Structure formats: structure tokens, C-alpha cells
Structure 1
Amino acid sequence: MNWTVLKSLSELYHHRKVQKKTSLENDSEFCLLLDTKEIRDNDKFYVPNDVLYNQYYEKHHLENFDVYYEFLEKYNLLKKRFEEEDIKKLIELETKNNSKTLIPSREQLIEAQETVRGFSTMFFKHDKYLDKKDSLINAINDILDIKLVENKDQQYLYVLQCDDPQTIVLCENLDFLKKDKMPRANNIELWYAGGRNVKKLKYADTRGIRIFYSGDWDKDGLEIFELAKEIIPEIELLFPTAEAKSIEDTDHKSLWKHADNPELLSGLNKTFYPLRYQEKIKSLIKANAWIVEESNDLKKMIESIMKNAI
């Protein structure tokens, strides 16, 4: 549901009618309210069913609308058609930035010359979410007082440091870096390069510290591991502790290649994977499944690989 529809729902609640418009007719939730008779069609206007609509609006929108309105007005965004989830995300970004809990911080994002897709990967559903959403990108720039650059490799490595690093973990996603207590307590230094943006690793110094890779166990995640291993040959892949999820049920976009022949390991380089890793990959391909990086127990993965020579 976008901001235009939310404003119309508010108008229905406070003024008891709203003029018909295409944006309402095309909104699935609004159409559902018509089907359930919470809103009625009255010639040129829509009008609410007093009891049913009031209950619906007060439960789902009344409190949130005022928060959204005040926020959007503050940044002169009241005429934009942002989706409700995007408004929530913008509010979250502002709140974390103001409280100095934004990870990466505004200062790091500026220093990194972060790209639109890099930012999208870190804070939205996927790397292409912000593509062609200029109004949303401009809002992010204004709210955080930054300037996201075009979609090219940024040359900055995000690092969660600790006092006495004993191991380094390169993470495919940013999630582990947002939880600093466990890695710092266990002398684990975390790196985030930005998904496939691993070319910058040729400038990184491991200082002789043992380095591991943590990522999604899907086609894309394992391909990123291989890209990283070509640059840092000593990097080792952590073995997952979490249960697999169905690619189909989770609407996941990273699909295995050669699904009819798991022995091909989806085109991956077999020499990079010990036997039990190969068996795990084949089982995922057969089940059309994947393992989400952040669902793993990072500490247990490291402890396991330290105890077992592979």
C-alpha cells in the first residue's frame, strides 16, 4: 500500500468520503475492503461503513498515519508515492542515524563512496530494490546527508574489529557485523566487502590471521566464495549449522544450475570443496534448497572447522 492510498484511507476515516481514483482501484487491499463491505461505492465517491471501517482503520492505520505524515512533512515528501514499507525503512534509517546505531555508520558510508546497489543490499530486500527509484534514493540521501554513487564497485571494506583478532571471517551479508558482542568476545574480526564486490580484497591484509568465508549456501553465495578464494587462496569456507529452506517456498532468486545432475555441483569448482562439502551441496541441489547465512551459528561454525581437519 502506498502513501496515496494511505492518505485516502485517512480521508475516509476523518471526512467520511473520498473521491474515486485509479490509484485506489488498483490497490489490492483497498479492493478487499470494498469486497468485504467495509467501504462502499457511492457514485463518484467511496464512503465507509461506519462501524466496520472504523474498526479496521483504528486497528491498522490510525496511529501509524500520524507518524508517517509528520516524518514525510519534515522532509517535504508528502507528494511522493512511497510504499508503506519504504516509509518505515526511511524512519528506521533516520532513527538509527540519530542514535548512532546505524551499521555501517553514515561516516563509513561516505568514506566508502557506497553505491546504490550496495546500500540496497545492506538495508533493503535485495541489491536491485532501489533500481529506478530515484525519489527513494533522493530521500535516503537527504535523510542521511550522504550521496549514494552509481552502481560500481566501491573500494572500501567494512570491518568489525576486536581487541585481539585470532580469526577473520569474510561475510557475504552484513547481518553478523550488526551483532558485535559475540565476535568481539571471541576474538573474531568480521569483514564485509559487499556481496560480489570482492575485487578490493586484493588490497586487504590478513596479517597472517586464519581467514574464513561465511555466506548463503546457494549458487550465488558459493560463487562469491570462489571469487574470494581466487584473490585470497588461504580463505576457508565455513560449514553451515542451520537447516536448509526450500527455494520455492521462500521465493528465493538464486537458483542452482544443472538441477537434473547434482554431480556437476551447479558448475562450481570441485577442487575448492572437500568431500563432505560436495555432499552437502549435492543434497541442497537435490532438495532445491538453500541455507541462509544469518541462520547459522557463527561461533559453532568456526569451532567446528578448528576441531576438524578438512
Structure 2
Amino acid sequence: MNWKAHKQLNQLFNEGETSSEILEISLVQRWQEMDFLERINKKKVSKTNLYDSVYTKELLQQFNSFENLLIINNLTETNFKEEELSALLRIQNDKEEILITGKSQKEIATLYFHSAKYLTRGTILYNAILKVLDVSELPVDEHDQQFLWVLHCKTKSPKAIIFCENDNQIRKPRLNEVELWYAGGRNTAKLKFVVEPTIPFYYLCDWDNRGIEIYQDIKKNIFPNIQILIPQDPIKLYNIESKWKTKIDYSLFSNEAKQLLEKLIPEKWIEEESINHNMLLR
């Protein structure tokens, strides 16, 4: 059953009637055969005097738990399957342990939905889990929390290193003399175990709240010598999707970077994948 069906059965309990489409469910078909409910006409069914006792015993508590979960998290307009609702309840109950252990998207999918591939970013279910856990995203992969991805350059002797916020560049062909690093978005704590490069070292990112926040954190707390990679012409500006909220520490930026930030804030941003730079030429 899905949430809509649960609501209809509860409506039958409280109001005595509901839509006859509920008869498509095998459980309800059995209940009809056992005279717990009966069809009024093509569009409606009504309960008999036997319905309340069986509904109270088998489904009322579950309905109340589901409804409470959805109301608290502002998810009442969704129509999750019963097994998904049960999983969300378990995630809610396990919230503290999930956050403390830093469970990844695949781990949560495996533990609560029985398949590592069950969850997809951007889906209604994925966003519901974010609400239940009160987080902005789930770690993509448990390995991203521990390992640094490196795309070595063709010459094997890099003249510079570019650390990328996103994985776009690292999935392209190797550069001649530039080594590419990728840690997985905000998953930068692992960098504390990496020796700071002595060759020129740059951060390639979206010029938006998230990208600038990550850059500032890295430069302040991990790699003081890293510099943000400044896009070269042509620079493609996009209308901002999320209002600028990041507090900019201008002491961490070169004059050229400050000038670019002045062009962006408060209405524009730059997407990493659109950034042009000679060091990225293949």
C-alpha cells in the first residue's frame, strides 16, 4: 500500500465511507470478502460494524506513526510506499547514530531499503531523508570520506596541482603538466593528512556559496598556500540560484579574485564546469 491508500482506510474508519478505488488493494479485497466493508456504488465503499475493530487492531497505530512523521517533516503531500514510510520511521529513530557514524547514501540505501542503488539524489524520497536527518546532503560514498582521488599528469612531474570541488575535470583526459585532485565536495577533512604541495596549488570550484565556503575553509584550516583558480575570458555568469549568504573573508583572495566577486555578488555565480583556464587546456 501507499500513503494515499492508508489515508483512505483511515477516512473509512473516521467517516464511514471512502473511494472504491481502495478495492484495488489485495488486503482490502480480503476485508470485503470478510464483510468488513461493502460497496455502496461504483465510486464509494462503506464500512460495516466489523471494520473498526480490525482496522484499530491492524493499521491504526501504523497510520498514526506515518502521519506524525510526515507532518513533522512537512511531507504530507507525498505518496510514499508503505515500506518507504517504514524505512523513514526507522531512519528517524536512528537519526543520531546515522549522523555520528557519517553513514553514506549507499549505506543508508542498503540498510533501510535493501539496495545500494535504491536512492537517487534529487528524488522526493532522497529529499525526504534529508528532512528527516536535518542535513543538506548525504555523503555520496563511504570511500569519499577517506580517499583522495588523483589524476596524475602525462609527464609524471606536475608543475601545478588543481584541487577540484566537483569531479568534472577528473573524468576527462589527463593534462600534460597539471595534476588534478578531487575529494568529494565538502569532504575535505581527509586533507589534514596530506602534505601541502610545494608547487603552485589552486582550488577550482563553483563561485557560489558552497564553493567559496569550501575554499575559505581549506585556505584557513588546511592549506594556507592554496589559491582560488580565477576564470579567464570568456567568463560565463549565471543568475544566482541561492542568494549569497557566505561571509567573504577578502584577506584570502587576490585583488583579481576580489574584483570578480564584486561582479558576482549579490545576483550572479559561476559554474565550475564553465570555467576557462590555460592550465585546463587539453
- TM-score, normalised with respect to structure 2: 0.49
- Give the structure with higher Rg (CA): 2
